Amino acid sequence: MLTACLNGSRRPGEHPAVPLTPAQLAEAGAQAVAAGAHALHVHPRDDRGDETLDARHVDAVVAAVRAAAPGVVTGVTTGAWIAPDPEARLGAVRSWHVLPDVVSVNWHEPGAERVADALLSRGTGVEAGLWDVEAARFFVRGPLAGSCCRILLEPMEPSVSAALGTAERMLDLVAPLGVPIQLHGCERTTWPVLASAARQGFEVRIGLEDVLLLPDGTPAAGNADLVAAAVAVIDGSAVS
């Protein structure tokens, strides 16, 4: 499965095609799906363009993206940088009316298990975001390890070798759970990690959240451009 991560924490000045509003995210999502994406991951923004977990904005974004890409899995984040107080994050996810299909929860963040449990109790799938080996250890020892619909291996090291090394150590811990795994890098590690993930048969993701450049180093026109390039990498991995 290929997920298009449409905007993340990117600011408008970082790339002219970063989608922020519900309408922009809906259009970018539909284009990404047409280019080959199977799922969409978005970071809702408020009226100032800042990331938010507020129900009014989350509801509007999820509804708009769903309408533009019907039947496509739509997910959002609960990153603690948006709402550092665990109680605020917990209250936010409990207030959403238009529930995403899946929500990513970063397991190293305070209150992660409570936020995940609240989402699961509402029938929303949880993607466990694991940034390092310690987070992976904490996750596999916890009560929700078998309840999440996906494990996101997200090594943050800036070098490809270090990122892949961390991913391998995390994989040793989580593979026995039998939960679907998505592996991705960021910035300079994005394309090498995506190629490695495809060769290993893992789910992958691509989009302006992770990288602004195509595999050849030229600027991507937008999310659909990145998705099309990812499809080519995946197809190449399948035949190599």
For the chain, which domains are there? 2-239 (3.20.20.70)
pLDDT tens by residue, 180-206:
999 999 999 999 999 999 999 999 999
Asked whether residue 125 carries a pLDDT value surpassing 60, the answer given is yes
Helix locations, the chain, DSSP H: 22-35, 55-68, 86-95, 112-121, 133-141, 160-174, 190-199, 223-239
Question: Which tokens hold the place of 177?
Answer: 């759970």
Q: Are 2 and 231 in contact (CB under 8 A)?
A: yes
For range 18-46, the mean pLDDT: 98
DSSP 71-88: TSEEEEE--TTT--SHHH
Phi, psi of 119, rounded to the nearest 5 degrees? -70, -45
For range 219-228, the mean pLDDT: 98
- What pLDDT does 238 receive? 63
Asked whether residue 237 carries a pLDDT value surpassing 80, the answer given is no
pLDDT band at residue 12 under the 50/70/90 scheme? confident
| Strands lying side by side in the sheet with 2-5 | 181-183, 150-153, 125-130, 102-106, 73-77, 39-42, 2-5, 204-206
